[in-house]
Amino acid sequence: MRGMVEFKVKAAHYINKINTHIIPVRFEYYEPKTIEEAVELLAKYKGEAKILAGGTDLLVAMKQRLVEPKIIINIKKIKELRFIEDRGDYLAIGATTRLREIEKNPIVKERFPALYEAVKAMAGTQIRNMATIGGNLCNASPAADTAPPLIVYEAKVKIVGPRGERIVPVEKFFKWVKKTVLEPDELLAEIIIPYHPPNTGSAFIKIARTAMDLAKVNVAVALRVDDNNVIEWIRVALGSVAPTPVRAPSVEKALEGKEFKLETIEEASKLVVNDISPITDIRSTAEYRREVSKVIVRDALIRAYNRIKGR
Ligand SMILES: Cc1cc2nc3c(=O)[nH]c(=O)nc-3n(C[C@H](O)[C@H](O)[C@H](O)COP(=O)(O)OP(=O)(O)OC[C@H]3O[C@@H](n4cnc5c(N)ncnc54)[C@H](O)[C@@H]3O)c2cc1C
């Protein structure tokens, strides 16, 4: 009898922490059809509700009992949240647009190659068919692959809630690991990515243990050079090397106004260590992250520059 009790206790522990097929909590489930309905539900159940988009982060967390929401609001039936639209000065992407749709979009591939490369490097096709760009940002993993490209493109997010709309730069959206500026009654509706002039080049590089894994380190860069190859504007952002995705101002400052030369790029890339605070975890060590950051910043800058030159 005692053996059976011990077995049940062990089994419960095993199911809750490891078995990823079972969600062991009860919740109420809603499927609003409009943003307005979703916001009403969020306001009503403030703090108790969780938004479900693709579920590729949330359901894993629920199965592991890391989060146990009483209310689930599935926003995937809201048509007005799923689009990719050219709006003249900028490209707008709805929050529930699937990663696979972004990967297949010709404007993204042509005008925002760092975002294209980031999405392409995420998980496998099945996950990309379900996962959304809004979910990737709102989950606020330091390793979120879409964050560094959106930061270097100076993208903004449109947030909607009972008090109306607000626009926040993606760079300011993340507060800490798994924490964003979203209030419990707000949702992310749209991502706004400004178009950059034609003499802009950009690139994304990710180092991961396997193709399906989160990044040990990822980096996105964007830069513009003038006719004399002088860097007139540059942005560098990295993921998985701090509690949130971060810019690398030391590298940017060292390169802005300088001619694009390999030696200069090599030296400036080493300065990235001043801007990051990596930790050792299951994916990598702090030392490796520091060393490889220098290398991928350099390589991404060269790749972005080659793109400007049409190579
Ligand atoms: C096998 C596997 C591989 C993966 N590989 C990668 C990878 O390589 N790179 C990477 O970055 N990620 C990866 N992920 C993580 C995940 O797939 C992505 O973060 C994905 O984009 C999350 O989107 P989702 O729509 O599934 O989010 P969900 O799981 O639905 O939501 C994630 C979180 O965001 C909140 N949320 C979602 N949408 C909104 C919104 N519009 N407004 C407010 N809150 C919202 C939810 O409440 C939840 O807290 C992987 C996951 C799996 C399971």
Best of 51, 68, 137 to mutate for ligand 1, by most ligand atoms within 8 A of CB?
51
Q: Tell me, using a 6 A CB cutoff, whether residue 84 lines ligand 1.
A: no
Note the pLDDT of residue 293.
98
Find the 105 Cα to ligand 1 centroid distance in Å: 20
Name the band, by pLDDT with cuts 50, 70 and 90, for residue 303. very high
Contact 160, 131 (CB under 8 A): no
Residue nearest to atom 40 of ligand 1 (CA): 188
pLDDT exceeds 80 at position 279:
yes
What does the pLDDT average to over 27-49? 96
Average pLDDT on 87-110 reads 98
Binding site membership of 180 for ligand 1 (Cβ less than 6 Å): no
Looking at CATH, the fold of the domain delimited by 2-72 is given as 3.30.43
Task: Please work out whether the CB of residue 134 comes within 6 Å of at least one atom of ligand 1.
Answer: yes
Residue 103 backbone dihedrals phi, psi, to 5 degrees: -60, -35
In angstroms, the CA 200 to CA 253 distance is 17
Q: What is the mean pLDDT of residues 258-262?
A: 98
Which of 30, 35, 100, 127 should be mutated for ligand 1, with most atoms under 8 A from CB? 127
Q: Do domains 2-72 and 80-194 have the same CATH topology?
A: no
Q: What is the pLDDT of residue 211?
A: 83
> How much is the pTM?
0.94
Residue with tokens 């490097």: 121
Ligand 1 atom closest to residue 57's alpha carbon, by position in its atom list: 29
CA nearest 138: which of 90, 213, 211, 191?
A: 191
What is the structure's pLDDT at 275?
A: 98
Is residue 72 lining ligand 1, measured as CB closer than 6 Å?
no
Residue 98 has pLDDT above 90, yes or no: yes
Task: Count the Cβ atoms, other than its own, within 10 Å of residue 150.
Answer: 30
Q: How many residues does the chain have?
A: 311
Output the residue whose Cα is nearest ligand 1's atom 3.
Answer: 123
Give the residue-averaged pLDDT of 140-169: 98
Predicted confidence (pLDDT) at residue 193 exceeds the cutoff of 60: yes
Which ligand 1 atom minimizes the distance to the CA of 146? 11
pLDDT value for 40? 97
Give domain limits for the chain: 2-72, 80-194, 200-308
Judge if the beta carbon of residue 58 lies within 6 A of ligand 1. yes
| Mean pLDDT of the region 44-63 | 94
Kindly state the average pLDDT of the residues 187-210: 96
Tell me what the pLDDT averaged over the chain comes to. Answer: 94
> What percentage of the chain has pLDDT greater than the value 90?
88
In this prediction, residue 291 carries a pLDDT of 97
pLDDT tier at 14, thresholds 50, 70, 90 = low
Q: What is the mean pLDDT of residues 202-230?
A: 95
Are 137 and 171 in contact by the 8 Å Cβ rule? The answer is: no
In the CATH scheme, what architecture does the domain 80-194 have? 2-Layer Sandwich (3.30)
For 31-155, strand residue ranges (E) read: 49-52, 71-74, 84-86, 90-94
CATH architecture for segment(s) 200-308: 2-Layer Sandwich (3.30)
pLDDT tens for each residue of 17-26: 555 577 878 9
pLDDT at 20: 58
pLDDT over 70 at 53, yes or no: yes
* Alpha carbon of 58 to ligand 1 centroid (Å): 7
Euclidean distance between CA atoms 280 and 153, whole angstroms:
29
Cβ–ligand 1 contact at 55 (below 6 Å): yes
From the CA of 130, how far away is ligand 1's center (Å)?
9
Q: Is the CB of 201 under 6 A from ligand 1?
A: no
Question: Looking at ligand 1, which atom is closest to the CA of residue 208?
Answer: 8
Split at pLDDT 50, 70, 90, the class of 47 is confident
